[in-house]
Each structure stands twice: as structure tokens, then as C-alpha cells.
Structure 1
Amino acid sequence: MIEPLRSDLPLSEASSQLLLLLERHCAAFPPLREELASHRALTHALAKQQLRSAQALRAWRAAIARRWACEIAAQRLYDQAQHQFHHHYRNDPAYAQLIAPGHPGAASTAADLLHELRRIAAALELLTPRPPFAAELLADLHASATDLEAAIEHTRRCEAERRSLLSEERVAAKLFAQACERSHRLLSHYLGDQASDLPPA
């Protein structure tokens, strides 16, 4: 059974008119009943597909926002770590290369920033003796890297889902357009002189 469609789902005016005409004339022209059932099913399927695409888009945007928040927090922690290293070791050449930024300034991508967090965490674990702030900073670095990695992966999955559903929606819309053309032809055939009432194909 076809569930009733929500009135706020995007359906073209021409399609709605075709559906109304099919409903109006299917009693007088029984062959239109099958077309009406098909048109209703496709209308419902396209509306559901559009709803899924809209939900995927919202999820992707939320994932982007979450990743961005994680990036900002990670960049601040990274800058804090570099400041602590510089203040503690000054320009000691024995440590300069080990703790120097791999990307001068801000890392260019979220993946680069994640790599930098892990790199300086690994460097900090190798330092002997460790600076007094090492334990707290290591915990923060690992937590930030975990959050950022999860946000990157979640965004990747949401993007893949969004693209997949968008592709499916395009296919559904093409099939729906073809169905509208078929319905238009059938109505034109059965209505004859009354076909002027039809919306454009």
C-alpha cells in the first residue's frame, strides 16, 4: 500500500496536475488505472528519495561542522604544545629538529593536522628526560587526535552517503520524468479534444 505523501515534499506542479487528471479520468478510461497506480508509486518513491537526500545533506553539513570544531581545538592544542616546547627547550639544537613543526604555520588539511598531533605526541614520548608538562600534554594530544580522526572518518562516510543518494535521486528523477511523459501521452490519447487541458509535457 502506498503511504500518503507529505504535503511539504517537493513535487512539480505539472506532475501534480497529471496525477489529478489520471485520478479524474481513470473511471471513464480503465486503462488509465494502471498508469495512475504506477504514477503514484513513482511519485512516492521520488519523494522518499528526495527526503533521504535532504537528510544526508543535513548529516554531511553537521559532520563538516563537527570536524571543523575538532580542527580548531586541535590547532589550538598544537600551537600550545609548540609554545611549551619553545619555552622549555629554547633553541637547544638537540631538541629543535625533534619538536619543530612539520608544517610551518597551520597544517593545510585536517589529515595533516592529525599527522602533526601524532608526530609531536610520539616525539614527546621519546624525550628523555621529559618536560614537566609531558603527561598532561600527551593525554591532551591523544584525546584530540582521537576526536579529530573520528570526525574526519565520520565526514568521509557522510560525504560518500550524500553522493550516493544524490546519484540515486538523479536516476529516480529521470525515471519520474519519463513516467510523466508517458502519462501525458496516454492522457492525450484518451482525452482527444480535451487534451488542451493537459499541463505541458
Structure 2
Amino acid sequence: MSIRYRMVKKNQVSQLGQQDWIGLGLKVLAHNGVEAVRVEPLAKLLNVTKGSFYWHFNNREELLEAILKEWVNRETDSIIEQVEAAGGDASAKLLHLFELAIQDDGQVENAIRAWAANDSRVAAILDQVDRHRFDYTRNLFLEVGFAPFEATVRARMVYYSLIGEFVLGTRTDRAERLAEVRLQHLILTRRD
């Protein structure tokens, strides 16, 4: 799959920053895997020399570390911050969390999981991310008023469902998907 990234004009090269490299690295990772995240091909896509890369990173490993950190921030920390900033009770927060989670297409998530299968350092970070996301979701179910076991089961159902959807790639249209997560929320937060 080819990566589409805006070609940079020569007079814009000095404006390239670390985030440009990280952003492109995430796109390449999502479409072609971690092995495709290499300095020279990225430089070609950005229409710059490899030397430009070394103004921002010491080596490829540093770029990969920055890509991983950006993913954790975007897909975990930032989402939790958005949910908390929106406020409301635990049920409202869960609904907002579900709605935010389905906005992602899962491509980077799948690429990170594939990368983690062959890199113990990435696997450890992924384990921390999974644990943090799960704990946050479980705690919201606890706040709704469910007993610990029930909150755990509900959090697992939500999290495993989302990750499974990413892996299977079965995405329905946006309106239908939104209706689905709202029904899931209703079912999982009902206290009969």
C-alpha cells in the first residue's frame, strides 16, 4: 500500500520538525509495519535528505521510541483526558469513551501489536497500555455501581470487543457503528 504524504517543497524543509517525522512514521507503520519505518524511505517521502532526519533524532531507534510514545499519548492518555474533561457521571464517561474509541480505524493499533509480537520492549509497553485502558474502563464500571467481578467482566467485554474489531477489520458505516456502541453502552450499564 502506498503512503500519501504531502511532498515538502525545498523552502519548507527547514520547517520540518520532529512531529513531521513521527507522523509519517506512524502512517508508514500502519500501512507497512515496523520494518518499513526506515530513515531513507521516510526522507524520500518528505522530499528531504537523510541528514534532515539527524537534526531531530540520533538514530532509527530513537524515532521508533518517539512513534511508540506518540501512539500511547494519542490512543490512550489523550482519550482518557478527553473523557475526563467532558465530565459527567461514570455512565456518561463510559459512553463518551466508547464513542471516542470507535473513531480509530485500528491500523496503527494492529501494527503496534504485530511489532510487539517480535519485540519484548514494545510488548511490555503494550501490556502497560492494555492494563491502563482496562483499569480505567473497569473503574468507570465500578463507579456506576457494579461489584468488582461484574465491573471486570463488563470492562473485558468492551475492551476485547474493540480490539477484536480492530483485528478483524469489520467496520460498519459510522452512523451504524455509533448506534451499536450506544446500544452496547445501554446493555452494559443497565443495572436490573
Q: Which has the larger radius of gyration?
A: 1
In which range does the TM-score fall when normalised by the shorter chain? under 0.3
Q: Which has the bigger relative contact order, CA under 8 A and spacing at least 6? A: 1
